Amino acid sequence: MNKSDYFQKLANNLNAESINSSNKAVIYTRVSTKEQADNNASLQTQKKYCQAFAKKKGLMVMEYFGGTFESAKSDERKEFQKMLTYVKRNKEIDTIIVYSYDRFSRTGPNGAYISQQLMKSGVKTLSATQEVDPSSPSGSFQQNLYYIFSQFDNELRKDKSVTGMKERLRQGYWLYKPVIGYSNSKKGMTCDKHKFFINNNGKLIKRAFMWKLQNVRNIDISNRLEAAGLKIPSKSLNRIFQNTFYCGKIINKLIPGEVIDAKHPKIISEKNWIKVQDIIESNYRGNTRNTNFEEIPLKVFMKCHNTNDPLTGYIVKKKGIWYYKSRSKGTKLNINAKKLNTLFAEYLKQFELKKGLDKPFKQLVEHAFNQYQSNQQFDQSNL
């Protein structure tokens, strides 16, 4: 063999190594919603087109993924991730076939990034209906454009959907599943066709509102409801009492600052609902507890040396002994309060004011304390 033959042999081997010519592929199909999966033939159509494309390109389909509903708004899809894992583990796979690039991803740049990473591993992503060559600069650019346009289309759809939802809310229609106490006799239809009615639980909740108007304690209301067959923890009752849905008003984060008259029936009148809020507010003011104890003056000021979280305090009632402890779970830090207070007082002794500064310093501290007290009183009066 002469010199030129050796060189040619090496060149041929290098070329063979640089090209993955296994011609083995996987197919990924998807729709966005369960209704699409159940009610149309889109998945079958996608699969049919992908199979025809594979046959046309001489690709052997080794596995199918997807075949169900999963939104492409995120790339953390179960079947999608399952496919990526399979492709990474099976090095002979060199092609992923999708019906269109929006079936692969609607996340724009992130979808393009995933395709690029796959390409670096020798796996190209091909569309059966949008033929480009992702291995060429122009083809890669076209593919990226498809991903970006898919994301743009998604954002447009979302914007239109949110605009429609806002309009329906302003018309008094409830867009979501009914709250406890209501049922919908037209479930599955558009919100303007929904027909909410007060069910048996709703009748009990109406009684709960009446009890609250009589200033019955939440724990007693909870017990009465449970005896009647409706179990609602006492801690959850205020969330129900403060829900404007029950007095026929819609307040929603999609339309901040707006209060809409709803079309569904009321469980309680607006007037009585406001009275319930006044009762809850007065009870809250009456139940505020003093959390400042002279035995633990360093609470919040002192911090845990492990987590840097402020310390809190508690008393062992049987012994009448106070302790500081860390607020962080799993941190076993408990310090006798008297001991820590003494250590801190000893530490402060190393600091002293220069002569002549004690009087202005005292005035400054008194002013700060009085300001703090007045702010506290102002806050309490405005609760």
Among 222, 180, 175, smallest CA distance to 198 is for: 180
Contact (CB, 8 A) for 44 and 111? no
**Residues 52/59, Cβ–Cβ less than 8 Å:** no
Do 136 and 24 share a structural domain? Answer: yes
Residue 170 located in a structural domain: no
Helix, strand, coil % (nearest 5) of the chain?
A: 50, 15, 35
Give residue-wise pLDDT tens across range 324-381.
998 877 777 889 999 999 999 888 888 877 777 777 777 777 777 666 555 544 444 4
| Boundary of a domain, candidates 105, 140, 156 | 156
Using the predicted structure, report yes or no on whether residue 68 has a pLDDT greater than 90. Answer: no
User: Is pLDDT larger for residue 46 or for residue 18?
Assistant: 46
Q: Are 235 and 145 contained in the same domain? A: no
Instruction: Tell me whether strands 182-184 and 196-198 are parallel, antiparallel or unpaired.
Output: antiparallel
Residues 211 and 233 in one domain: yes
Domain harbouring 112, CATH code: 3.40.50.1390
Whether 173 maps to a domain, the answer reads no
372/95: higher pLDDT:
95
Q: How far apart are CA 312 and CA 310, in angstroms?
A: 7
* Alpha-carbon distances of 370 from 301, 364, 374, 375, 377, rounded to whole Å: 19, 10, 6, 9, 11
Mean pLDDT of 279-290: 70
Q: Do 264 and 300 belong together in one domain?
A: no
| 19 within a domain of the structure (yes/no) | yes
> How confident is the prediction for the chain on average, in pLDDT?
84
The mean pLDDT of 40-46, rounded to a whole number, is: 83
Residues 15 and 112 in one domain: yes
Last residue of a domain, one of 239, 262, 286: 286
Contact 133, 214 (CB under 8 A): no
Tell whether 11 and 152 lie within a shared domain: yes
Domain count, the chain: 4
pLDDT for position 291: 61
d(CA 212, CA 267) in angstroms, rounded, equals 14
How far is it, in rounded angstroms, from Cα 94 to Cα 54? Answer: 12
pLDDT at 26: 95
| Element (DSSP H or E) covering residue 143 | helix 137-170
Asked whether residue 307 falls in the same domain as residue 228, the answer is: no
Query: What is the extent of the structural domain holding 24?
Result: 3-156
Q: How confident is the model at residue 289 (pLDDT cuts 50, 70, 90)?
A: low
Is it the case that residue 290 has pLDDT exceeding 60? no
Q: Do 134 and 151 share a domain, yes or no?
A: yes
Q: How far apart are CA 266 and CA 273, in angstroms?
A: 10
Task: Give the pLDDT mean for 147-154.
Answer: 80
Burial of 239: CB neighbours in 10 Å, binned 0-12, 13-18, 19+: exposed
Q: Please give the average per-residue pLDDT across 245-254, as a whole number.
A: 93
pLDDT for residue 341: 92
**What is the 3-state secondary structure of 82-112?**
HHHHHHHHCCCEEEEEECCHHHHCCCCHHHH
Give residue 193's pLDDT band: very low, low, confident or very high (50, 70, 90): confident
Q: Is residue 164 part of a domain?
A: no
Residues 197, 245: one domain? Answer: yes
The Cα diameter of the chain in Å comes to 107
Residue 167 lies in a domain: no
Residues 114 and 27 in one domain: yes
- What are the structure tokens assigned to 53, written together? 């494309």
Residue 20 or residue 111, greater confidence: 111
Look at residue 163 in the predicted model and tell me its pLDDT: 86
Residue 83 within any structural domain of the chain: yes
Amino acid at 67: G
The arithmetic mean of pLDDT across residues 282-309, rounded, is: 77
H or E element, residue 157: helix 137-170
Q: Which residues pair with 316 in a beta bridge?
A: 321
Per-residue pLDDT for 288 more than 60? no
pLDDT bin (cut points 50, 70, 90) of residue 2 is low
Look at residue 168 and tell me if it is in a domain: no
Query: Is the domain of 149 the same as that of 15?
Result: yes
Residues 6+ apart with CB under 8 A from 293: 299, 313, 322
Q: Give the pLDDT of residue 319.
A: 87
Q: Are residues 92 and 214 in the same domain?
A: no
Question: Considering the chain, what percentage of its residues have pLDDT values greater than 90?
Answer: 42
For residue 137, being part of any structural domain is answered with yes
Q: What CATH number does the domain containing 224 carry? A: 3.90.1750.20
Task: Mark which of 260, 286, 312 sits at the end of a domain.
Answer: 286
